[in-house]
A and B are shown apart, each in its own frame.
Chain A
Amino acid sequence: MSSPRIVLIGALLLASALAFGQAKQMSVQVKETQIRATPSFLGRILGVLSYGDRVTVLAEQSGWARISLPSGKGEGWVNLSALSPKRIVLKSGSQEVASGASSGEVALAGKGFNREVEAEYRDEKQLDYTWIDRMEGFRVSPEQVLAFLQQGGLPTSPGGAP
Protein backbone atom coordinates (compact mmCIF):
# COMPACT_ATOMS: atom_id res chain seq x y z
CA MET A 1 0.00 0.00 0.00
CA SER A 2 2.73 2.43 0.91
CA SER A 3 4.57 2.54 -2.43
CA PRO A 4 1.49 3.29 -4.62
CA ARG A 5 0.57 5.93 -2.07
CA ILE A 6 3.95 7.61 -2.53
CA VAL A 7 3.62 7.43 -6.31
CA LEU A 8 0.15 8.91 -6.09
CA ILE A 9 1.30 11.76 -3.90
CA GLY A 10 4.22 12.33 -6.28
CA ALA A 11 1.90 12.50 -9.29
CA LEU A 12 -0.46 14.88 -7.54
CA LEU A 13 2.42 17.10 -6.50
CA LEU A 14 3.66 17.16 -10.09
CA ALA A 15 0.20 18.09 -11.33
CA SER A 16 -0.19 20.90 -8.82
CA ALA A 17 3.33 22.17 -9.48
CA LEU A 18 2.54 22.40 -13.17
CA ALA A 19 -0.79 24.07 -12.48
CA PHE A 20 0.29 26.63 -9.92
CA GLY A 21 4.07 26.71 -9.64
CA GLN A 22 4.86 27.75 -13.17
CA ALA A 23 5.24 31.47 -13.66
CA LYS A 24 3.23 32.62 -16.67
CA GLN A 25 4.23 34.84 -19.53
CA MET A 26 2.14 37.86 -20.53
CA SER A 27 2.59 40.64 -23.11
CA VAL A 28 2.27 44.40 -22.78
CA GLN A 29 -0.86 45.38 -24.77
CA VAL A 30 -0.59 49.17 -24.38
CA LYS A 31 1.84 51.67 -25.94
CA GLU A 32 3.79 52.01 -22.73
CA THR A 33 3.42 51.04 -19.07
CA GLN A 34 5.41 51.47 -15.86
CA ILE A 35 6.81 48.88 -13.50
CA ARG A 36 6.21 49.99 -9.91
CA ALA A 37 7.71 49.12 -6.56
CA THR A 38 4.26 48.59 -5.00
CA PRO A 39 0.88 47.56 -6.50
CA SER A 40 -0.29 51.18 -6.86
CA PHE A 41 -0.15 53.88 -9.53
CA LEU A 42 1.47 56.04 -6.88
CA GLY A 43 4.25 53.50 -6.30
CA ARG A 44 7.85 54.35 -7.19
CA ILE A 45 8.60 53.69 -10.87
CA LEU A 46 11.26 51.02 -11.37
CA GLY A 47 11.17 50.83 -15.15
CA VAL A 48 9.14 51.21 -18.33
CA LEU A 49 7.77 48.51 -20.64
CA SER A 50 6.69 48.95 -24.27
CA TYR A 51 4.03 47.39 -26.52
CA GLY A 52 4.76 43.73 -27.17
CA ASP A 53 7.28 43.29 -24.32
CA ARG A 54 7.01 39.89 -22.61
CA VAL A 55 6.96 39.67 -18.84
CA THR A 56 7.08 36.77 -16.38
CA VAL A 57 4.14 37.05 -13.99
CA LEU A 58 4.86 35.49 -10.59
CA ALA A 59 1.58 36.32 -8.87
CA GLU A 60 -1.58 38.42 -9.18
CA GLN A 61 -3.13 40.62 -6.52
CA SER A 62 -6.17 42.93 -6.79
CA GLY A 63 -5.68 43.92 -10.39
CA TRP A 64 -1.87 43.95 -10.30
CA ALA A 65 0.73 41.46 -11.54
CA ARG A 66 3.96 40.85 -9.64
CA ILE A 67 6.63 40.37 -12.30
CA SER A 68 10.32 39.63 -12.54
CA LEU A 69 12.22 42.72 -13.62
CA PRO A 70 13.55 42.45 -17.20
CA SER A 71 17.08 42.68 -15.77
CA GLY A 72 16.40 39.41 -13.96
CA LYS A 73 17.23 41.03 -10.64
CA GLY A 74 14.31 41.78 -8.38
CA GLU A 75 10.58 42.14 -8.81
CA GLY A 76 8.05 44.85 -9.56
CA TRP A 77 4.34 45.41 -10.22
CA VAL A 78 2.45 46.08 -13.46
CA ASN A 79 -1.28 46.79 -13.70
CA LEU A 80 -3.09 43.82 -15.26
CA SER A 81 -5.08 46.07 -17.61
CA ALA A 82 -1.78 46.70 -19.45
CA LEU A 83 -1.14 42.98 -19.97
CA SER A 84 -2.55 40.32 -22.29
CA PRO A 85 -2.20 36.55 -22.04
CA LYS A 86 -1.68 36.58 -25.83
CA ARG A 87 1.75 36.82 -27.35
CA ILE A 88 1.85 40.12 -29.22
CA VAL A 89 4.04 39.96 -32.27
CA LEU A 90 5.37 43.21 -33.65
CA LYS A 91 6.85 41.95 -36.91
CA SER A 92 4.73 40.09 -39.39
CA GLY A 93 7.60 38.11 -40.90
CA SER A 94 8.35 36.12 -37.77
CA GLN A 95 7.65 32.46 -37.17
CA GLU A 96 4.96 33.11 -34.57
CA VAL A 97 2.87 35.01 -37.08
CA ALA A 98 3.02 32.21 -39.60
CA SER A 99 2.12 29.65 -36.98
CA GLY A 100 -0.37 31.30 -34.76
CA ALA A 101 -1.42 34.83 -35.68
CA SER A 102 -5.01 33.80 -36.13
CA SER A 103 -5.22 31.09 -33.50
CA GLY A 104 -6.36 33.36 -30.70
CA GLU A 105 -3.13 32.83 -28.78
CA VAL A 106 -1.14 35.37 -30.72
CA ALA A 107 -2.09 38.93 -31.61
CA LEU A 108 -0.32 40.60 -34.48
CA ALA A 109 0.52 44.21 -33.82
CA GLY A 110 -0.43 46.61 -36.59
CA LYS A 111 -2.86 44.25 -38.30
CA GLY A 112 -6.25 45.41 -39.51
CA PHE A 113 -7.01 48.93 -38.35
CA ASN A 114 -3.61 50.61 -38.16
CA ARG A 115 -1.79 53.86 -38.85
CA GLU A 116 -1.90 53.26 -42.60
CA VAL A 117 -5.68 52.73 -42.56
CA GLU A 118 -6.10 55.85 -40.39
CA ALA A 119 -4.13 57.94 -42.92
CA GLU A 120 -6.27 56.64 -45.79
CA TYR A 121 -9.51 57.23 -43.87
CA ARG A 122 -8.44 60.73 -42.78
CA ASP A 123 -7.71 61.75 -46.38
CA GLU A 124 -10.89 60.19 -47.72
CA LYS A 125 -13.13 61.91 -45.12
CA GLN A 126 -10.97 65.05 -44.94
CA LEU A 127 -10.88 64.80 -41.16
CA ASP A 128 -8.73 67.01 -38.98
CA TYR A 129 -6.82 65.08 -36.29
CA THR A 130 -4.99 68.12 -34.86
CA TRP A 131 -6.98 68.18 -31.63
CA ILE A 132 -6.93 64.40 -31.28
CA ASP A 133 -3.12 64.51 -31.31
CA ARG A 134 -3.21 67.49 -28.94
CA MET A 135 -5.48 65.59 -26.54
CA GLU A 136 -3.02 62.70 -26.44
CA GLY A 137 -0.42 65.24 -25.42
CA PHE A 138 -2.42 66.03 -22.24
CA ARG A 139 -0.37 63.97 -19.78
CA VAL A 140 -0.60 63.71 -16.02
CA SER A 141 2.30 62.46 -13.88
CA PRO A 142 1.90 60.31 -10.73
CA GLU A 143 3.42 63.20 -8.73
CA GLN A 144 0.66 65.51 -10.01
CA VAL A 145 -2.01 62.95 -9.05
CA LEU A 146 -0.52 62.52 -5.58
CA ALA A 147 -0.40 66.28 -5.01
CA PHE A 148 -3.97 66.60 -6.37
CA LEU A 149 -5.26 63.93 -3.96
CA GLN A 150 -3.45 65.43 -0.97
CA GLN A 151 -4.59 68.97 -1.71
CA GLY A 152 -8.17 67.78 -2.20
CA GLY A 153 -8.27 65.89 1.11
CA LEU A 154 -8.63 62.54 -0.70
CA PRO A 155 -7.05 59.26 0.50
CA THR A 156 -3.68 58.28 -0.95
CA SER A 157 -3.31 54.95 0.85
CA PRO A 158 -3.33 51.68 -1.12
CA GLY A 159 -6.71 50.87 0.48
CA GLY A 160 -8.21 53.92 -1.15
CA ALA A 161 -7.25 53.54 -4.80
CA PRO A 162 -5.52 54.61 -7.06
Chain B
Amino acid sequence: MKALRLILPAAAALAVLTALSSCASFGSADALSVLNIAAKTADVVAKSFQDITPEQEYYIGRAVGANILRQYSPYSEAKANAYLNLLGQTLAMASERPETFGGYHFLILDSGEINAFAAPGGLIFVSRGLLACADSEDTVAAILAHEIGHVAKRHGLKAIKASRYKDAGLAIGKAAVEEYGSEQLVQVTGAFSGTIDDITSTLVNSGYSREAEKEADLAAVDILKRTGYDPNALVRMLERMKTRLKPGGPGFAKTHPDPAVRIAEIRKSLPVSPVPPVQPQRQARYLAALGKL
Protein backbone atom coordinates (compact mmCIF):
# COMPACT_ATOMS: atom_id res chain seq x y z
CA MET B 1 0.00 0.00 0.00
CA LYS B 2 2.78 2.40 0.95
CA ALA B 3 4.46 1.87 -2.36
CA LEU B 4 1.20 2.42 -4.20
CA ARG B 5 0.62 5.70 -2.38
CA LEU B 6 3.96 6.89 -3.63
CA ILE B 7 3.32 5.76 -7.18
CA LEU B 8 -0.08 7.40 -7.46
CA PRO B 9 1.01 11.02 -6.99
CA ALA B 10 3.93 10.33 -9.31
CA ALA B 11 1.59 9.04 -12.01
CA ALA B 12 -0.69 12.04 -11.59
CA ALA B 13 2.26 14.41 -11.79
CA LEU B 14 3.44 12.62 -14.93
CA ALA B 15 -0.01 13.11 -16.46
CA VAL B 16 0.03 16.84 -15.71
CA LEU B 17 3.59 17.24 -16.97
CA THR B 18 2.78 15.35 -20.16
CA ALA B 19 -0.25 17.54 -20.76
CA LEU B 20 1.78 20.69 -20.19
CA SER B 21 4.67 19.65 -22.38
CA SER B 22 2.40 18.57 -25.20
CA CYS B 23 0.64 21.94 -25.04
CA ALA B 24 3.92 23.81 -25.14
CA SER B 25 5.50 21.88 -27.97
CA PHE B 26 2.43 21.64 -30.14
CA GLY B 27 1.35 25.22 -29.71
CA SER B 28 -2.39 24.61 -29.41
CA ALA B 29 -4.67 27.48 -28.41
CA ASP B 30 -4.40 26.50 -24.76
CA ALA B 31 -0.65 26.65 -24.98
CA LEU B 32 -0.60 30.42 -25.40
CA SER B 33 -0.63 30.96 -21.67
CA VAL B 34 2.33 28.60 -21.36
CA LEU B 35 4.04 30.55 -24.14
CA ASN B 36 3.45 33.79 -22.32
CA ILE B 37 5.51 32.50 -19.44
CA ALA B 38 8.14 31.07 -21.76
CA ALA B 39 8.46 34.33 -23.69
CA LYS B 40 9.38 36.22 -20.57
CA THR B 41 12.34 34.00 -19.86
CA ALA B 42 13.53 33.14 -23.35
CA ASP B 43 16.40 34.90 -25.09
CA VAL B 44 15.27 37.00 -28.01
CA VAL B 45 18.43 36.62 -30.07
CA ALA B 46 19.37 33.90 -32.52
CA LYS B 47 22.45 32.20 -31.17
CA SER B 48 23.38 29.79 -33.89
CA PHE B 49 22.47 28.57 -37.35
CA GLN B 50 19.76 26.43 -35.77
CA ASP B 51 17.73 29.57 -35.06
CA ILE B 52 17.68 30.53 -38.74
CA THR B 53 14.28 29.60 -40.16
CA PRO B 54 13.94 27.90 -43.58
CA GLU B 55 12.47 31.15 -44.89
CA GLN B 56 15.53 33.15 -43.78
CA GLU B 57 17.79 30.41 -45.16
CA TYR B 58 15.99 30.88 -48.49
CA TYR B 59 16.87 34.60 -48.67
CA ILE B 60 20.44 33.86 -47.59
CA GLY B 61 20.73 31.22 -50.34
CA ARG B 62 19.39 33.54 -53.03
CA ALA B 63 21.93 36.21 -52.09
CA VAL B 64 24.82 33.70 -51.99
CA GLY B 65 23.70 32.46 -55.42
CA ALA B 66 23.58 36.00 -56.82
CA ASN B 67 27.14 36.55 -55.56
CA ILE B 68 28.35 33.32 -57.19
CA LEU B 69 26.75 34.46 -60.47
CA ARG B 70 28.71 37.70 -60.23
CA GLN B 71 31.87 35.62 -60.57
CA TYR B 72 30.63 32.86 -62.90
CA SER B 73 28.35 33.12 -65.94
CA PRO B 74 25.44 30.74 -66.32
CA TYR B 75 25.58 28.13 -69.07
CA SER B 76 22.17 28.82 -70.52
CA GLU B 77 21.64 25.73 -72.71
CA ALA B 78 18.06 24.72 -71.79
CA LYS B 79 18.26 20.98 -72.46
CA ALA B 80 21.36 20.47 -70.33
CA ASN B 81 19.91 22.43 -67.41
CA ALA B 82 16.54 20.65 -67.68
CA TYR B 83 18.31 17.27 -67.49
CA LEU B 84 20.36 18.40 -64.49
CA ASN B 85 17.19 19.55 -62.69
CA LEU B 86 15.35 16.32 -63.43
CA LEU B 87 18.23 14.23 -62.13
CA GLY B 88 18.85 16.57 -59.18
CA GLN B 89 15.22 16.65 -58.10
CA THR B 90 15.03 12.85 -58.23
CA LEU B 91 18.06 12.64 -55.95
CA ALA B 92 16.86 15.39 -53.58
CA MET B 93 13.64 13.45 -52.98
CA ALA B 94 15.77 10.62 -51.59
CA SER B 95 17.84 12.89 -49.32
CA GLU B 96 17.31 13.34 -45.61
CA ARG B 97 15.84 16.77 -46.34
CA PRO B 98 13.73 16.50 -49.49
CA GLU B 99 11.87 19.78 -49.03
CA THR B 100 13.38 23.21 -48.41
CA PHE B 101 11.56 26.55 -48.36
CA GLY B 102 12.06 27.28 -52.05
CA GLY B 103 13.06 23.79 -53.22
CA TYR B 104 16.17 22.45 -54.96
CA HIS B 105 17.21 24.04 -58.27
CA PHE B 106 20.31 23.38 -60.36
CA LEU B 107 22.28 25.50 -62.83
CA ILE B 108 25.36 24.82 -64.96
CA LEU B 109 28.12 27.46 -64.79
CA ASP B 110 29.88 28.32 -68.03
CA SER B 111 33.38 27.73 -66.70
CA GLY B 112 36.07 25.19 -67.49
CA GLU B 113 37.17 25.30 -63.85
CA ILE B 114 36.35 22.13 -61.87
CA ASN B 115 33.94 23.44 -59.26
CA ALA B 116 30.49 23.23 -57.64
CA PHE B 117 28.65 25.32 -55.05
CA ALA B 118 25.66 24.55 -52.86
CA ALA B 119 23.99 27.72 -51.59
CA PRO B 120 21.82 27.36 -48.46
CA GLY B 121 18.25 26.31 -49.18
CA GLY B 122 19.00 24.30 -52.31
CA LEU B 123 20.40 26.48 -55.12
CA ILE B 124 23.12 24.27 -56.58
CA PHE B 125 25.69 25.37 -59.19
CA VAL B 126 27.92 22.96 -61.11
CA SER B 127 30.61 24.04 -63.57
CA ARG B 128 30.96 22.74 -67.12
CA GLY B 129 34.50 21.70 -66.15
CA LEU B 130 33.26 19.46 -63.35
CA LEU B 131 30.53 17.89 -65.48
CA ALA B 132 33.15 17.19 -68.15
CA CYS B 133 34.95 14.93 -65.63
CA ALA B 134 31.87 12.66 -65.52
CA ASP B 135 31.38 9.75 -67.90
CA SER B 136 27.82 8.66 -67.09
CA GLU B 137 24.54 9.61 -65.44
CA ASP B 138 25.67 7.79 -62.29
CA THR B 139 28.82 9.91 -61.96
CA VAL B 140 26.82 13.15 -62.48
CA ALA B 141 24.36 11.85 -59.88
CA ALA B 142 27.29 11.41 -57.47
CA ILE B 143 28.30 15.08 -57.86
CA LEU B 144 24.75 16.35 -57.37
CA ALA B 145 24.10 14.02 -54.42
CA HIS B 146 27.24 15.39 -52.69
CA GLU B 147 26.01 18.99 -53.14
CA ILE B 148 22.50 18.02 -51.96
CA GLY B 149 24.21 16.55 -48.88
CA HIS B 150 25.73 20.00 -48.10
CA VAL B 151 22.26 21.59 -48.35
CA ALA B 152 20.55 18.89 -46.27
CA LYS B 153 23.19 19.21 -43.52
CA ARG B 154 22.96 23.02 -43.68
CA HIS B 155 26.74 23.34 -44.02
CA GLY B 156 26.42 26.80 -45.61
CA LEU B 157 24.73 28.22 -42.53
CA LYS B 158 27.39 26.66 -40.31
CA ALA B 159 29.93 28.84 -42.13
CA ILE B 160 28.41 31.97 -40.55
CA LYS B 161 30.91 33.30 -38.03
CA ALA B 162 29.83 32.98 -34.41
CA SER B 163 30.56 36.66 -33.83
CA ARG B 164 28.06 37.53 -36.56
CA TYR B 165 25.20 36.47 -34.31
CA LYS B 166 25.82 39.50 -32.14
CA ASP B 167 24.54 41.66 -35.04
CA ALA B 168 22.62 39.18 -37.13
CA GLY B 169 21.17 37.45 -34.10
CA LEU B 170 19.62 40.63 -32.86
CA ALA B 171 18.18 41.29 -36.29
CA ILE B 172 16.78 37.86 -37.00
CA GLY B 173 15.73 37.03 -33.47
CA LYS B 174 13.71 40.17 -32.94
CA ALA B 175 9.95 39.88 -32.89
CA ALA B 176 9.85 42.03 -35.95
CA VAL B 177 7.57 44.60 -37.42
CA GLU B 178 5.63 44.58 -40.68
CA GLU B 179 8.14 46.91 -42.28
CA TYR B 180 11.46 48.17 -41.00
CA GLY B 181 12.12 51.80 -40.28
CA SER B 182 14.95 53.14 -42.46
CA GLU B 183 17.59 53.00 -39.72
CA GLN B 184 16.55 49.49 -38.70
CA LEU B 185 16.61 48.36 -42.35
CA VAL B 186 20.20 49.57 -42.71
CA GLN B 187 21.16 47.66 -39.56
CA VAL B 188 19.49 44.41 -40.60
CA THR B 189 20.85 44.68 -44.16
CA GLY B 190 24.32 45.17 -42.71
CA ALA B 191 23.94 41.97 -40.69
CA PHE B 192 22.61 40.19 -43.79
CA SER B 193 25.54 41.41 -45.88
CA GLY B 194 28.08 40.10 -43.35
CA THR B 195 26.31 36.74 -43.23
CA ILE B 196 26.41 36.44 -47.03
CA ASP B 197 30.13 37.37 -47.08
CA ASP B 198 30.91 34.60 -44.55
CA ILE B 199 29.17 31.92 -46.60
CA THR B 200 30.28 33.07 -50.07
CA SER B 201 33.88 33.37 -48.97
CA THR B 202 33.78 29.85 -47.49
CA LEU B 203 32.27 28.41 -50.69
CA VAL B 204 34.58 30.22 -53.10
CA ASN B 205 37.84 30.62 -51.18
CA SER B 206 38.40 28.47 -48.14
CA GLY B 207 36.01 25.54 -48.58
CA TYR B 208 34.17 23.58 -45.91
CA SER B 209 35.94 21.61 -43.22
CA ARG B 210 37.19 18.12 -43.99
CA GLU B 211 34.48 16.83 -41.63
CA ALA B 212 31.72 18.62 -43.59
CA GLU B 213 33.03 17.16 -46.87
CA LYS B 214 33.01 13.70 -45.33
CA GLU B 215 29.42 14.19 -44.18
CA ALA B 216 28.37 15.29 -47.66
CA ASP B 217 30.17 12.29 -49.21
CA LEU B 218 28.40 9.86 -46.88
CA ALA B 219 25.06 11.59 -47.54
CA ALA B 220 25.76 11.20 -51.27
CA VAL B 221 26.42 7.46 -50.92
CA ASP B 222 23.10 7.09 -49.06
CA ILE B 223 21.19 9.03 -51.73
CA LEU B 224 22.78 6.99 -54.54
CA LYS B 225 21.89 3.72 -52.79
CA ARG B 226 18.29 4.79 -52.17
CA THR B 227 17.68 5.90 -55.75
CA GLY B 228 19.25 2.81 -57.27
CA TYR B 229 22.35 4.49 -58.71
CA ASP B 230 25.75 2.89 -58.31
CA PRO B 231 27.16 4.17 -54.97
CA ASN B 232 30.65 3.42 -56.29
CA ALA B 233 30.09 6.21 -58.84
CA LEU B 234 31.27 8.77 -56.26
CA VAL B 235 34.65 7.06 -56.00
CA ARG B 236 34.87 6.75 -59.78
CA MET B 237 34.04 10.45 -60.14
CA LEU B 238 36.71 11.45 -57.61
CA GLU B 239 39.28 9.26 -59.37
CA ARG B 240 38.47 10.93 -62.68
CA MET B 241 38.68 14.38 -61.08
CA LYS B 242 42.01 13.52 -59.45
CA THR B 243 43.67 13.06 -62.83
CA ARG B 244 42.39 16.46 -63.99
CA LEU B 245 42.81 18.62 -60.90
CA LYS B 246 46.00 20.66 -60.76
CA PRO B 247 47.41 20.81 -57.21
CA GLY B 248 47.28 24.43 -56.08
CA GLY B 249 44.87 25.18 -58.92
CA PRO B 250 41.61 27.11 -58.62
CA GLY B 251 38.18 25.79 -57.65
CA PHE B 252 37.81 22.31 -56.25
CA ALA B 253 41.55 21.74 -55.84
CA LYS B 254 41.66 24.74 -53.51
CA THR B 255 38.42 24.22 -51.57
CA HIS B 256 38.26 20.43 -51.19
CA PRO B 257 40.42 17.79 -49.51
CA ASP B 258 42.60 15.60 -51.73
CA PRO B 259 40.33 13.14 -53.62
CA ALA B 260 42.54 10.25 -52.44
CA VAL B 261 41.75 11.08 -48.79
CA ARG B 262 38.04 11.28 -49.56
CA ILE B 263 38.06 8.02 -51.53
CA ALA B 264 39.63 6.19 -48.58
CA GLU B 265 36.87 7.48 -46.27
CA ILE B 266 34.02 6.72 -48.70
CA ARG B 267 35.24 3.16 -49.33
CA LYS B 268 34.56 2.36 -45.66
CA SER B 269 30.81 2.78 -46.22
CA LEU B 270 30.54 1.20 -49.66
CA PRO B 271 29.02 -2.20 -50.15
CA VAL B 272 31.21 -4.84 -51.70
CA SER B 273 29.20 -5.34 -54.84
CA PRO B 274 29.94 -5.76 -58.50
CA VAL B 275 29.69 -2.65 -60.66
CA PRO B 276 26.22 -2.77 -62.24
CA PRO B 277 26.10 -2.98 -66.03
CA VAL B 278 25.67 0.30 -67.88
CA GLN B 279 22.00 0.92 -68.69
CA PRO B 280 21.96 1.85 -72.40
CA GLN B 281 18.98 4.20 -72.07
CA ARG B 282 20.48 5.98 -69.09
CA GLN B 283 23.75 6.43 -70.95
CA ALA B 284 21.96 7.65 -74.10
CA ARG B 285 20.02 10.39 -72.30
CA TYR B 286 23.15 11.46 -70.39
CA LEU B 287 25.11 11.80 -73.63
CA ALA B 288 22.24 13.63 -75.35
CA ALA B 289 22.00 16.20 -72.53
CA LEU B 290 25.58 16.65 -71.33
CA GLY B 291 27.76 14.86 -73.88
CA LYS B 292 28.85 18.10 -75.55
CA LEU B 293 30.19 19.72 -72.40
Contact = CB atoms under 8 A, between A and B. Distances in A.
A44 interface: no
Contacts of A84: 54
B27 A152 contact: no
B292 interface: no
B120 to A, nearest CB: 11
Interface in B130-149: 137
A105 B173 contact: no
A11 B15 contact: yes
B8 A112 contact: no
B93 A4 contact: no
Contact of B28 (A14, A25, A51): A25
B212 interface: no
A153 B32 CA distance: 52
Interface size class of A (residues with CB under 8 A): 35 or more
B39 A100 contact: yes
Q: Chain A contact residues: over half helix, strand or loop, or mixed?
A: mixed
Interface string A78-119: 010110111100001101111111111111111111111110
A116 B177 CA distance: 12
B188 interface: yes
Interface in A118-159: 118, 120-122, 124-125, 127-129, 131-132, 135-136, 138-140, 144-145, 148-149, 151-155
Interface residues of B, number: 89
B183 interface: no
A102 B39 contact: yes
Contacts of A122: 63, 66
Contact of A110 (B14, B55, B70, B82): B55
Contact of A135 (B8, B105, B227, B229): B105
Contacts of B24: 105
A81 B97 contact: yes
A143 B176 CA distance: 41
B293 interface: no
Given A106-B35, A131-B69, A138-B106, A8 B7 contact: yes
A107 B81 CA distance: 35
Interface in A13-72: 14-15, 18-19, 22, 24-27, 29-31, 33, 41, 51, 63
B105 A30 contact: no
Given A41-B93, A117-B185, A99 B15 contact: no
A128 B69 contact: yes
Given A30-B99, A111-B175, A162-B98, A117 B35 contact: no
Contact of A112 (B11, B173, B228): B173
Contacts of A5: 4
7 contacts: A100-B27, A100-B38, A102-B175, A105-B27, A125-B193, A152-B137, A161-B94
Given A118-B63, A121-B63, 16 more contacts: A25-B26, A63-B98, A81-B98, A93-B178, A96-B35, A106-B35, A112-B53, A112-B56, A113-B195, A131-B107, A138-B82, A149-B228, A151-B282, A154-B227, A154-B228, A161-B226
The 9 closest A-B pairs by CB, nearest first: A112-B172, A162-B93, A100-B35, A111-B176, A101-B175, A87-B27, A11-B11, A140-B89, A161-B94
